[in-house]
Structure 1
Amino acid sequence: MEKLLPRFLEYVAIDTQSDPYSKTTPTTEKQRDLAKKLVMELHQIGMQEVSIDENAYIMATLPSNMDKKVPTIGFISHMDTSPDFSGKNVSPQIVKNYDGKDIVLNKQKNIVLSPDYFEDLLQYQGQTLITTNGNTLLGADDKAGIAEIITAMEYLIQHPEIKHGKIRIAFTPDEEVGRGAHKFDVKKFGAEWAYTMDGSQVGELEYENFNAASAKITVLGKSVHPGYAKDKMVNAIGIANEFLGLLPPNEVPEKTSDREGFFHVHLFKGEIEKATVELIVRDHDALHFEARKQLLEDIKEKLNKKYGDCVNLQIDDQYKNMREKVEPVFHIVEIAKEAMESLDIEPIIKPIRGGTDGSQLSFMGLPCPNIFAGGHNFHGKYEYIPLESMEKAVKVIVKICELTAIQIK
């Protein structure tokens, strides 16, 4: 475990922010900087069949050390960080023996990580926390997962007395922009099932996620001198606002939880002659999800009838709820649950209020529940991760490998 922290700190120092507007894979070339380092490290610790393809997908193998057939399983994490917040010049702070009080991230900017606002901090009194310096995100999503997987593989290599089957690992680009599994070669990976190490707090075990779509609303208006605009001007900004005003006001991220879906506007820009709105649509229930998309279509039709075909709507499905693919092979969830319980970790089984590579991979033929990596407050300056949570994640990976071998008769 002594290499876990320095490993993680080396990874977060490399800027791997992805770009939703790029058409390439990876969406940013800087993701290859980390990819190259990981390939070298996998060779160094003794992994076999280490490969990286033209799209920067990394795969490697830990061969079975058993003389009987055991299912090949996998562990997956992503290399990129969110485009929502800077990942350049990440400079983590190490807070040892956390005392439960405010942590000053940036004194100059008066940025404070406080348990008064982030109550989860109080769970980690006495532990070692890794935080940001208030200027960037940290990158625990998902470089913690990468560090945990590599550390677990190294541990298994150094402890051959722990019996396990063939283990495959993979690191992907562009998960944060919804493309992490787009070019993942499931056949080449060759696992019967896998786990993404991409969850948050200790104990999280997830096999249900949102159904997801993106939507783009474009309104075309007509600009006329405001003094003579009656019955002539068509103000695209006003119509776009009217469109948003017809959405349910309480069905937004900041007012929903658990299995409640939402509409989330993340971009609005416009002038009188053209306004553009980008939003995402999320719901765990497939029927409710379709109803949300239909509501957008209905609003478009209503406004076009009122103002005359000036509203265009484009909806693109992004991913589906992986529950329908995981439930038929539910033993893979039970193995992870047993692994946690054997380590005195209480499993927290709940739906993901987001997406994961595991969703797409499950529909590509690789059932893939999600397991905690240990971090909190992802995608922003208040992100932090306890070192002890990362250590527990490593132990869970090792135990899953062990249990999978033991349970095969």
Structure 2
Amino acid sequence: MCIDTQSNPESTTYPSTEKQKDLGKVLVDELQHMGVTDAHLDEFGYVYATIPANTDKPNVPVICFCSHMDTSPDCSGEGVKPIIHKNYRGQDLVLPDDPSQILRMSEHPDLKNQIGNDIITASGTTLLGADNKAGVAEIMDACYQLINNPEIKHGIIKILFTPDEEIGRGVDKVDIKKLGAYAAYTIDGESAGNMENETFSADGAKLIINGVSTHPGFAKGKMESALKIASIIVTMLPYELSPENTEGMEGFIHPVGIQGHVEDASIDFIIRAFDEEYTVRYANELRKLADEVLEDFPGSSYELQVKEQYRNMKVVLDQHPEIVEYGMEAIKRAGLDAKLCSIRGGTDGSRLSFMGLPCPNIFAGEHAFHGKQEWVSVQDMQKAVETILHLCTVWEERA
């Protein structure tokens, strides 16, 4: 059964699409059948559940595992047809419903680590939804293992499945008090063995331009088209600060939408940098560029609105080093080379960390997110389940 859970950035409801609750209801039903009696779906589309402690130790911190149920609005999630390519041997994977969609090892280098594994893709016309349904499935499997294997000792385990992460609203309505956890881990990362303790700091910016409108037949020397001014500004953005020319720890300014008319126009930007100081610098770069362009349009004016979106979770996680340390230990116990990484993006954990719930991100095995060539391997998903179980054990042992 494939449930379309695509979120909608244009919606003002919570969740942004009611169909996300369809998956939430299924998850609640499955958790309750496992014996997780308090599993429930709230009005905002969040799934909460608790696995009681089974240890005699009284002071084991409560930990939470979190994944998001929605899929990206960038690519269709309707009618997904998953395909399992068993015993991958390095060949090109042609997706049958659109043979132009081909997974090649040269373009997906992580496939080099998947020889002999079973690769799951969609059929070529939709995304797969591994981001983040792989994480959801892994947490659900871990719940089953904890309930049916009481020899795995653990403290209280909280489960949280969120809507609308892909549109930046994943924790807008989360009830931190209800969770009552000391630490959390999102299961929403890429390559097996990776753990992410650092994200971008992120702002959204809107540049509003007020031009001068006149009848185009009598516009000479009078008209100052706001739409053309906006176009000039986009054209003059510094290439060295564009996402297509940055990598690693480099930040960027990225125009994501432009609309308007002669009299007024607006440009929406996202600003990203690992150091919060640079988000301020990049906003000032936009002001400087707008000032420069509008020197040639004396009758026009602009306003730049900047809104904080999320901040680098490393600032919080560095205050609680054991949370990352235990995660790395769990990955090693799963038989993997543990690698601590930065992510050129954000997760629910970015905002949860600043809401009082420190939350790094652990691999789910997802690759090529938000597109028709998205893939995940069965074996990497199994390793993610093992990592979750080991994490529960490590927290119990170290209490």
Question: TM-score interval w.r.t. the shorter chain?
Answer: over 0.9
Q: Which residue of 2 aligns with 1:103?
A: 93
Q: Percent identity?
A: 47
Q: Which residue of 1 aligns with 2:375?
A: 384
Q: What do residues 226-283 of structure 1 show as CA deviations (whole Å, max 9, x unaligned)?
A: 6754322212232112212342212222221111101122223454444332221100
CA–CA distance in structure 1, aligned partners of residues 312 and 170 of structure 2: 16
* Aligned counterpart in structure 1 of residue 51 of structure 2, from 56, 62, 70: 62
Q: Which residue of 2 aligns with 1:33?
A: 22
Residues 300 and 313, structure 1, Cα contact 8 Å, conserved in 2:
no
CA–CA distance in structure 1, aligned partners of residues 107 and 94 of structure 2: 14
Q: What do residues 280-303 of structure 1 show as CA deviations (whole Å, max 9, x unaligned)?
A: 110001111111122223333444
Find the residue that maps to 1:208 and give its secondary structure.
strand
* Aligned counterpart in structure 2 of residue 368 of structure 1, from 356, 359, 368: 359
Q: What do residues 61-115 of structure 1 show as CA deviations (whole Å, max 9, x unaligned)?
A: 1100011221111100011111111111111111001121111114655221111
Further displaced range: 399-408 or 118-127: 118-127
1:91 aligns with 2:91: no
* Aligned counterpart in structure 1 of residue 200 of structure 2, from 195, 205, 210: 210
1:405 aligns with 2:393: no
Cα distance change of structure 1 residues 273 and 105 upon mapping to structure 2, 3 Å threshold:
farther
Q: Which residue of 1 aligns with 2:129?
A: 139
Cα distance change of structure 1 residues 138 and 296 upon mapping to structure 2, 3 Å threshold:
same
Q: Which residue of 2 aligns with 1:315?
A: 306
Runs of 5+ consecutive residues of structure 1 not aligned to the other structure = 1-9
Q: Which residue of 2 aligns with 1:286?
A: 276
Q: Which residue of 1 aligns with 2:326?
A: 335
Cα distance change of structure 1 residues 91 and 163 upon mapping to structure 2, 3 Å threshold:
same
**How large is the Cα RMSD of the aligned pairs?**
1.7
* Aligned counterpart in structure 2 of residue 265 of structure 1, from 248, 255, 258: 255
Residues 79 and 172, structure 1, Cα contact 8 Å, conserved in 2:
yes
1:358 aligns with 2:322: no
CA–CA distance in structure 2, aligned partners of residues 116 and 323 of structure 1: 33
CA–CA distance in structure 1, aligned partners of residues 356 and 97 of structure 2: 49
Further displaced range: 201-210 or 227-236: 227-236
Runs of 5+ consecutive residues of structure 2 not aligned to the other structure = none
CA–CA distance in structure 1, aligned partners of residues 48 and 84 of structure 2: 31
Cα distance change of structure 1 residues 299 and 370 upon mapping to structure 2, 3 Å threshold:
same
The structure 1 segments of at least 4 consecutive aligned residues displaced by more than 6 Å after TM superposition are none
CA–CA distance in structure 2, aligned partners of residues 28 and 294 of structure 1: 36
CA–CA distance in structure 1, aligned partners of residues 208 and 143 of structure 2: 49
Q: What do residues 143-185 of structure 1 show as CA deviations (whole Å, max 9, x unaligned)?
A: 1111000100100111101111110010011111111111111
TM-score (norm 2): 0.95
How much does 1:224 deviate? 5.1
Q: Which residue of 2 aligns with 1:82?
A: 72
1:236 aligns with 2:244: no
Find the residue that maps to 2:318 and give its secondary structure.
helix
